[in-house]
Amino acid sequence: MKVEEISLKGCFLISPSIFEDERGVFFESFNLGVFKKKTGISKPFVQDNISKSKKGVLRGLHFQKGIHAQSKLISVLKGSVLDVCVDLRVESATYGEHFSVVLDDVNCKQLYIPGGFAHGFLTLEENTLFSYKCDNFYNKEAESGIIFNDDTLNINWNFPEENLIISDKDRLLPTFKH
Ligand SMILES: Cc1cn([C@H]2C[C@H](O)[C@@H](COP(=O)(O)OP(=O)(O)O[C@H]3O[C@H](C)C(=O)[C@H](O)[C@H]3O)O2)c(=O)[nH]c1=O
């Protein structure tokens, strides 16, 4: 397993060791000992989420506020997504900056995002199965977000906006406030 910290401090791109043979592939999708050793993160995950989406679905940008902030370990079980995280840690040197990466069921890469980030993804294939571990429980009252096409964040989703499938809730998310 290769673990590399990306430009946004505290975020890690994880490339599992994939074992391929005539039957298909095998890889360890999570190993607490390796994860702790390679990231230095020891806070346990407490909730697993799965969403299944059509192609062109954009979920996000979401985050939970304050003590309910969630760190997430993100995987794509089937299909492909453009995954995006935005640094909202006001003390961070990369405050307001974002990172995007394609995660899919071929590269099997995973993205770890610490609390203090907004997160969203765009599905690039039909019936994409998205799975992520969270280190804090869902708290509806603490939910917040930023509109996906915020001018300041200037995220290139590289997908025709008119073809996006977005929830009414996400279409009403506020802009990024410095
Ligand atoms: C997130 C969540 C949602 N729900 C319920 C609330 C709604 O009735 C329903 C759908 O929720 P929502 O539309 O917020 O689902 P997503 O748009 O996939 O939200 C997620 O997608 C972005 C990309 C994320 O990173 C967040 O973890 C999360 O906000 O599931 C729960 O019961 N538990 C949960 O943990």
CATH code, domain carrying 136: 2.60.120.10
Distance 19 CA to ligand 1 centre (A): 32
The tally of domains found in the chain comes to: 1
Is 68 part of any domain? yes
Q: Report the distance separating Cα 122 and Cα 160, nearest Å.
A: 11
Is 149 part of any domain? yes
Q: Which domain holds residue 136?
A: 45-171
Whether 133 and 48 have beta carbons less than 8 Å apart is answered as yes
Q: What is the pLDDT of residues 122-132, one digit of tens each?
A: 999 999 999 99
Is 67 part of any domain? yes
Tell me whether residue 62 is one of the annotated catalytic residues. Answer: yes
What's the mean pLDDT when you consider all of the chain? 97
Is 6 part of any domain? no
Is 60 part of any domain? yes
Is 28 part of any domain? no
Position of tokens 């989406």? 53
Nearest CA residue ID for atom 1, ligand 1: 138
Q: Report the distance separating Cα 165 and Cα 58, nearest Å.
A: 6
Q: Pocket of ligand 1, candidates 11, 49, 146: which has the most ligand atoms within 8 Å of its Cβ, to mutate?
A: 49
Q: What is the pLDDT of residues 144-164, one digit of tens each?
A: 999 999 999 999 999 999 999
Q: What is the pLDDT of residues 90-143, one digit of tens each?
A: 999 999 999 999 999 999 999 999 999 999 999 999 999 999 999 999 999 999
ipTM: 0.97
Is 18 part of any domain? no
Tell me whether residue 132 is one of the annotated catalytic residues. Answer: yes
Nearest CA residue ID for atom 34, ligand 1: 138
What is the band of 177 on the pLDDT scale with cuts at 50, 70, 90? confident
SS3 13: strand
Ligand 1 pocket (Cβ < 6 Å) reads: 49, 51, 59-60, 62, 119-121, 138, 167
Is 8 part of any domain? no
